[in-house]
Amino acid sequence: MSEEGIEVPRALASGPSAFIPAKEILIEGLNQDVLIESFLSLGRVDHLTMVMALHPSYLSCFLRIQQALFELDGPLPRDWRHYVSVMAAARHHCSYMVQQHSKAFLEAGGEESWLGGIKHAPVKLRSLHTLNKLLAHRPWLITQQHIQELVCAGAEPRWSLAELIHAVILMAHTHSLCSFVWGCGLNPEPDHIGGYAFHPPSPSHIPRSPYSPAHEDGRQELVDGAVEVEVLMKRMVELQQQQEEEECTQEEMVTRFERERSESIPTAVVRGAPPELVLCLVEEPEFRYEDFAPRGEQSPPIMRAQDYSWEDHGFSLVQRLLPDMGQFLDEEFQVVSNLTYNRMAMHEDVDTYTLRKALWNYIHCLYGIRYDDYDYGSVNVLLERSLKVFVKTMACHPEQTTASTYHAFWRHFRHSEKVHANLIVMGARLQAALLYTLRSITAYIK
């Protein structure tokens, strides 16, 4: 075609992820029936799906939830559902998700002008702005007042509770997926803006072959890495033993929680402005996650997991307002929490429960959720600083994740294990945001 004067676009990316070598994804992930399932439902296998395929049991549950949110019958029209996700993805400057949902929005018959700026969308959709902003960055600030403004009889235009819960789940689901997209360094799809070029890239623009862990490093690093993993495993065993032996006071437990919550973990990397196609869809772009101040200085209140939990409260509320959706979410939380291959880097037959639990609880801690019966001292013992930097960046400022934050932690673990950690961050973050909103809805209904 180029001979005929038609320019042929060429894909720029060298695989699904800028962080994970393509061959690892292809070898470990692609030989799965679930990809056939995904191809049949989406008509293609996108980068997100390819990376998730490293964990097939999660992927199949994810595909079910996507289908329930975007395709099955529900209170919101299909084009609206994708637009809500576009608005949500824009909060995290995630042009990957913005473009995926923009395309689906148009395919569902959506009005093209809405994509040119949020001001072109109907007032009813725009009225989600505050909730979208709080859900993405500071869900602990959501109150029953926010719910009331959208659903009470005088509200104009008015959201029904079923519509609202659908929108809330769409937003929270998309925010947490943005964490995954950034955290795995997903490359743009070949048809995305930024994903192709009309001229072959000059050598300086060819993405450098992604850093490969252990194997290419010096021997000494390999040895150090092996020691690191062993130290971590030893700590896991010791912690389990200690917990059986000693009980510390409630006060000490609270202090340990506060220490984790307010520890200074630098996550703010200054990035270039997001592309215009994203920027025009965000209002108040400067509103972000804010670190909790050390104890005493006006830190926002803690949510005690005992007072409002997914199992005892959230699940049944969602089931009541949007039948089946509670079930799908519950399945997702269970799959993520129980996922294990009993493996730690080069070691097999390891019980990794304490480590996975520490990750989950650390993310909830960053979102102000405290479990009375959990000793946050474990978080400090098990999560090395570079891992905390990665997790906190991904959970709270996903758009600031860089290749070096990704490569710095767990240097001797497999990429699929790092992706597993990403799944935990994504699940925990989703649950935290939902819990705050559901609690406000419960308060409103009462």
Ligand X SMILES: CC(C)C[C@H](N)C(=O)O
Active site residue 94: yes
Nearer to ligand X, 147 or 426 (CB): 426
Token couple for 245 = 């032996």
Q: How far is the CB of 147 from ligand X (least distance, A)?
A: 35
- How far apart are the C-alpha atoms of 331 and 64, rounded to whole Å? 10
H or E segment at 370? strand 369-370
Q: Which residue among the candidates 61, 94, 178, 365 is catalytic per the annotation?
A: 94
Q: How far is the CB of 416 from ligand X (least distance, A)?
A: 8
Nearer to ligand X, 56 or 194 (CB): 56
Nearer to ligand X, 101 or 420 (CB): 420
Q: How far is the CB of 181 from ligand X (least distance, A)?
A: 19
Q: How far is the CB of 394 from ligand X (least distance, A)?
A: 14
75: Cα separation from own chain's centroid: 25
Q: How far is the CB of 363 from ligand X (least distance, A)?
A: 13
Token couple for 306 = 């005992």
Report the candidate in 380, 383, 364 with the shortest Cα–Cα distance to residue 372.
Answer: 364
Nearer to ligand X, 148 or 386 (CB): 386
- How far apart are the C-alpha atoms of 407 and 160, rounded to whole Å? 45
Token pair 């018959």 is at which residue?
109
Nearer to ligand X, 292 or 409 (CB): 409
Nearer to ligand X, 111 or 230 (CB): 230
CA–CA distance from 106 to each of 110, 117, 170 (Å)?
Answer: 5, 15, 17
Q: What are phi and psi of 279, to 5 degrees?
A: -60, -35
The answer to whether the CB of 115 falls within 8 A of the CB of 89 is no
Q: How far is the CB of 261 from ligand X (least distance, A)?
A: 22
Token couple for 298 = 């006006």
Residues that bind ligand X (CB under 6 A): 340-344, 352, 355-356, 417, 420-421
Nearer to ligand X, 159 or 180 (CB): 180
The answer to whether the CB of 417 falls within 8 A of the CB of 312 is no
The answer to whether the CB of 118 falls within 8 A of the CB of 137 is no
Q: How far is the CB of 337 from ligand X (least distance, A)?
A: 11
Token couple for 13 = 């990316």
- How far apart are the C-alpha atoms of 190 and 202, rounded to whole Å? 18
Grouping H, G, I as helix, E, B as strand and the rest as coil, residue 286 is coil
Which residues are known catalytic residues? 94
